[in-house]
Amino acid sequence: MEERKKNKLEELLEGFSAAFLGALRQGGMERFIGEKLLNYVGMLLVVLSGAFFLKYTAGMLGPVGKLAISLAAGVAVVGLGEYLGREERYSLFRLPLVGGGWIVIYYTAFAAHYVEATRIIESPTVGLAVLCVAAAGMIAHSLRIRSRILTGFAFALAYLAFIVTHLGVQSLTVCTVLALAGAVLVRPLASPELAAINLAGFYLNYFPIFRGVLSASGAQGLPAADFWYSLGMATLVHAVFAVLVPPKPGRAPAAGEPPTPPSPDDYWMDLSLSLSAVVYAAVFYGQTSAYQPLHGAAGLLALGGMLTALSALRGKGDGGSALQHVQAFLGAAVTALAVFQLDGMAERYWGFALAASVLGTLGLWLDRRSFERYALAFMGLGLLHHWGCMGSLPAESRLTAVLSLGYLGAAGYALAGLRQRVGRAATWISGVWLYGGLAAILAALWLQFQPAAFAVSVFVLALILEWAAMEAGAEPLRQQAVLLEAAAGLYCFCIDYGSNLPVLGPVTPRLLVTASAVVTYGAALACCRRPEGVFLGVAGSDWRRSSAWFAAGIAAFGAYNEFGPRLRLPLWGLGALALLLLGRRREEEGLGVAAADFRLQAYLLVLATAAEGVLSYLVYPASLLGTLGARETAIFWCSSLILAAPVFWPAWAKTPAEEAEERSARYVFAALSLILPALFIAKEADGAWITLGWTLLGMGYLLPGLFSGRTPLRLPGLALLGVCVLKALFRDLTGLALPHRVLSYGVLGVLLVLSSFLYVRLTKKEECHES
Amino acid sequence: MKARMPMLAAVVLMGAVWVLHTRATQSRESFLPVLRAAKDHGRQAERLAAKAVPVSADEERRGGEAVVARLDGMSREDEGLTALGRRLERTGLAPHFAGRYRYRLLQDSRPLAFSVPGGSIYISEGMVTALAGQQDRLAFVLGHEIGHNELGHLADRVRYAQRFDSWLLPGGDLAQGLRDLAAFSFGPALEFEADSYALRILTLADLRPGAAAETLEAIAGRPAPDPGTHADPADMLVEALRENVGTHPDLEDRLDRIEEDLGRAPAGALSSAPAPGHPVFPPVPSPKP
């Protein structure tokens, strides 16, 4: 089983503990106690004895005397340490003596102002300056004797002294200088603990200022100059450490070579700097949050930008120190907090969009997956933010929100495209950019347009994606296109067009949207390739075929709602005819892919038309239908005639199954072409006039069917005549007086006999021709 | 050419987007178009049932007798209403109870108007006040109620109520309540039909069809609320559920239907050209940005 790859933090902690324990194991516990521990503890006891001596002699001498003795003692101990250090056998005592001596000197400098009994310096600033001199002296001495331990000790002692004697920003200034000096010395001295000591010391000295800002009177009580000054100092220290201290990325290992593992010193420094980055970010955030919100947001944005830039400075690739990752994470997190703190909704929209695009671009350029992930997180936050506030978005912010979402969407597509260009497309990141970008663009369109315009805009987007997929050969774009087409198709059924008044001549919004849908699906079917393989569990060919069903469904639904019961029927009938015509194609690609679907839709639509004719037209209240005009009558009758066209079309079938289907289609359409005018007559006429109209209609189909030898025309005509006879017998004629009934029955009977004679004659002629 | 077709189509459709954005009246997201298409077919089934099992005018009158008896005690005959109603009947669009419609003024301060099976129509004093006594507005209300009668809505309710009678129901208030509910509850589809009918009868009676919208807004006591162009799916579901249990459609829906009927109707499509001086409908307001 493959071992789980450790993340940067685990690596760091593991390396740090290995370095520490390794050092301990190497030296041995006994040697550590004997050589070092006894030495330092002993020297500490000597120093304490000196302090108690001073206290003992306090009553006998004046302040100057006391300080003089203390200083002399300190210098003497330091001198002794230097003297003994010249001899190899006594070199072990050098460091403890020098260190102890300097502690005494430090204490002397401290006592000169801060101890009542020995105060000879009244000014706090002078007192601080004396301490600085002592600190500088000790550090310089430690550097001269090249002692790593003493240097670290000197820095620590200096910070401790400044903490105890804190003078606000004056102390902070001194600590800043000290920290900067420490940063400069870390690498040359190869002393990683110096980084930890300086950073810890600096922030400990910073804490009183930070506490002052956070307290109730902090922000108002602290002068603005001091507020920004202290924040600037912290920023300077962090920036210098982040730039100077981390190890530079080494040479990349050659192919086949294992990468060089980091040294124990690097782990020390990485951990120190990472923790310092967290503390710095927390201090910055806490301090600016306590201040005015706008400044807080601006400050946080600056912090986020700075941390991200510092992380980016480490160079390309995701390898390298933990500090790089910590700064990247902190930069992104702080920027997100800053954006949330921005006052206006529009500013927040742009904040998320710009952060996502900048981080994404940086991540791509520097090959940093972490940057790209944070960029995606910003995109997600931007979309969530939009979802949260779209219901309460003021009108004046709408355009800004639309533009920012559009920008975010464009950035998503651009970054996905760039990733493909540099050969990094085959990761989940590209997919998220694509779909996040799509979501952003859809959100922008949805915000800008009301539903009717939005639906058409989604169709436009789908067409653009289809075209882009063809041009770039990008399968993901094609998948997005078919997904959009399906979603837009469903959406079309959920639009209430309101009063639906015409917008372009007689064209209403519903007609425009329906036409847009049909154009889109038609173009997609006719001109675009189907998606490859299977997408979301559906085969690519089925996705493409679904366009035919969406187009037919939307067109039929649109016609249903747009036109009254009278006009709906001929339009549906003609639609069925058009579908049948489309279904006669045989190409493997383009419209031919959905030929079987078109034919099936044609038959379904014929059934639906016939059913609607009875349900929606025949029984519909005449008072709601409105006046029958010449135009409507013409449309109705002409379309009925046209519906008989399949009877006369040339043969299309090539197999027995297709022949049977074609035969059935002829009968079905011929029947529909008869049913529609029959319904028209039944609706618009009354009583016996219906029978007369039907009779003429039936004859109008029967006779041409007989003379042309086409059974699909004959049979429906015959059926209608049969219905006429039944109606006449059992309904029309029952109310007549006897003489009229005799005449009517007689005339009807003669007509039927004549018809039968003609029928037999003409069908026999047909059989002779066939034989 | 084939490769460029999607882009060309996209450019053309962008024009459609612009037209819809700048000129179209307000549209919104809703499940109601699909729901109402399904309910329309349910309505057609009712009409088929009416053909198969018709309810005669006398049966209808008998169905409403008990209610009429109670309401007549709270109302009175009004000459003005009756004259207006007769004027509407003379258009020829009210053959079912021609000459036998009864128009009563109900003593109630709320704006009420309803019809009882058998041709009795009740308008409250509150309704007359709300409509400021304007003749064409009152005519719309009367025409709407006549429409319920002529389109068979009340006959259908009588048929349902008779069905309740034949079932094993206990007597008393519950049974009576169910009968009344069956007798008087209409759905939004029937209200739309009655509104369309009223527009036609107004036009034929040489009255102002534009009064329809004014009437609805006056009854509601407020201008139609802006439904918002975009809706949550949850709101859409709630709206669809309300449609199933509500008796009247939303004011905005009714106004849209009326506007659609009149705004797109060519002259004469409503069975008569409007008289000179009576515009078909006030100018359509430009779409909201």
And the tokens for A663? 């035969």
Q: What is the largest CA-CA distance in chain B?
A: 79
With beta carbons under 8 A apart, name residues in chain B contacting A446.
230
Q: Do A450 and B27 touch (CB under 8 A)?
A: yes
Q: Do A501 and B19 touch (CB under 8 A)?
A: no
Give the number of beta-carbon pairs within 8 Å between A and B.
Answer: 183
pLDDT on residue A733: 67
Residue of B nearest to A523 (CA): B6
Residues of chain A positioned with their CB less than 8 A from the CB of B43: none
Choose the closest CB to A503 out of B23, B253, B257. Answer: B23
Asked if A498 lies within 8 A of B256 by C-beta distance, the reply is yes
DSSP A729: I
Return the residue in A446, A454, A499 with the most chain B beta carbons within 10 A, the one to mutate for interface testing: A499
Residues of chain A neighbouring B20 (CB-CB closer than 8 A)? 449-450, 452-453, 456, 503, 509, 512-513
The CA distance from B137 to B117, in Å, is 23
- Please give the mean pLDDT across all residues of chain A: 83
For A414, A644, A645, A662, A771, the CA distances from A651, given in Å and listed in that order, are 52, 15, 12, 8, 20
The confidence score (pLDDT) of residue B247 equals 72
Sheet strands (E) in A411-559: 495-496, 534-535, 538-539
- The confidence score (pLDDT) of residue A695 equals 86
The ipTM of this complex is: 0.82
Give the up-direction half-sphere exposure of residue A458: CA atoms within 13 A in the CB hemisphere: 27
| Min Cα separation A711/chain B (Å) | 33
| Strand pairing category for B28-29 and B113-116 | unpaired
Residue A569: the pLDDT is: 92
Q: Which of A728, A726, A712, A722 is closest to A755 using CA atoms?
A: A722
Which residues of chain B lie closer than 8 angstroms to A515, CB-CB? 16
For chain B, how are helix, strand and coil distributed in percent, rounded to 5? 60, 5, 35
Distance, in Å, from the CA atom of A264 to the CA atom of A261, rounded to the nearest integer, reads: 9
Residues of chain A neighbouring B284 (CB-CB closer than 8 A) = 499, 501
Name the minimum distance, in Å, from the CA of A456 to any CA of chain B: 6
Tell me the DSSP string of A171-209: HHHHHHHHHHHHHHHHHHHT-HHHHHHHHHHHHHHHHHH
| Cβ contacts of A448 on chain B, cutoff 8 Å | 21
Predicted confidence at residue B273, as pLDDT, reads: 33
Residues of chain B neighbouring A626 (CB-CB closer than 8 A): 200, 265, 269-271
Cβ of B33 within 8 Å of Cβ of A493? The answer is: yes
Which of B17, B48, B146, B243 best probes binding to A when mutated, by most A CB atoms within 10 angstroms?
B17
Query: What dihedral do alpha carbons A277, A278, A281, A285 form, nearest 10°?
Result: -170
Task: Give per-residue pLDDT as tens, B92-121.
Answer: 888 888 788 999 999 888 888 999 888 999
pLDDT, tens only, A115-139: 777 788 888 888 888 888 888 888 8
pTM, to two decimals: 0.79
**Amino acid found at B230:** H
Chain A CB contacts of B9 under 8 Å are: 463, 519-520, 523
Closest-CA residue of A relative to B24 is A503
- B153, containing H or E segment: helix B153-166
Q: Which residues of A touch B191 (CB under 8 A)?
A: none
Is A621's CB within 8 Å of B51's CB?
Answer: no
Residue B28 and residue A451: Cβ atoms within 8 Å? Answer: yes
Q: Which residues of chain A have pLDDT under 50?
A: 1, 216
The answer to whether the Cβ–Cβ distance between B37 and A615 falls below 8 Å is: no
CA–CA distance, B76 with A79 (Å, rounded to integer)? 125
Q: B32 and chain A: CB distance < 8 Å anywhere?
A: yes
Within 8 A by CB and 6+ apart from A399, the residues are none
Find chain B residues with C-beta within 8 A of A523's C-beta: 5-6, 9
Best mutation target among B20, B191, B232, B261 (most A Cβ atoms within 10 Å) is B20
- Where does chain B show beta strands of DSSP type E? 28-29, 75-77, 102-106, 113-116, 120-124
Chain A residues touching B270 at Cβ < 8 A = 626
3-state secondary structure of B170: coil
The nearest CA of chain A is from the CA of B48 a distance in Å of 7
Searching chain A, which residue's CA lies closest to the CA of residue B263? A501
Those of residues 191-250 in B touching chain A at CB distance below 8 A are 193, 196-197, 200, 229-230, 236
Q: How far is CA A568 from the centre of its chain?
A: 44
Decide: A444 and A409 in contact? Cβ < 8 Å.
yes
Q: How far is CA B48 from CA A233, A316, A616, B162, in A?
A: 88, 77, 10, 18
Nearest C-alpha of chain A: how many angstroms from B153? 12
Those residues with Cβ within 8 angstroms of residue B67's Cβ, 6 or more apart along the chain or in another chain: B116, B180, B183
Give residue limits of the domains in chain B. Answer: 29-222+232-264
**pLDDT score for A55:** 64
The Cα A667–Cα A475 span in angstroms is 44
Strands B102-106 and A495-496: unpaired
Rounded to the nearest 10 degrees, how much is the dihedral formed by the CA atoms of B215, B216, B217, B218? 50
Determine the Cα–Cα distance for residues A187 and A189; give it in Å rounded to an integer. 5
Question: Which residues of B are less than 8 Å from A496 in CB distance?
Answer: 27-30, 32-33, 253, 256
**A514-546 b/e (C-beta count within 10 Å ≥ 16 → b):** bbbbbbbbbbbbbbbbbbeeebeeeebeebbbb
The tokens describing A588, both together, are 């493997």
- Give the residue ranges of chain B where pLDDT is below 70: 163-186, 221-229, 264-289
Q: How far apart are the first and last CA of chain B?
A: 37
With an 8 Å Cβ cutoff, is B73 touching chain A? Answer: no
**Per-position b or e across B15-46, b if 16+ CB within 10 A of its CB:** ebbebbbebbbbbbbbbbbebbeebbeebbeb
Nearest to A519 among B9, B265, B271 (CB): B9
Chain A: residue whose CA lies nearest to B50: A619
Chain A residues in contact with B25 by the CB 8 A cut-off are 497-501, 509
Residue in chain A lying closest to B40 (CA): A616
Q: Does B270 touch chain A (CB under 8 A)?
A: yes
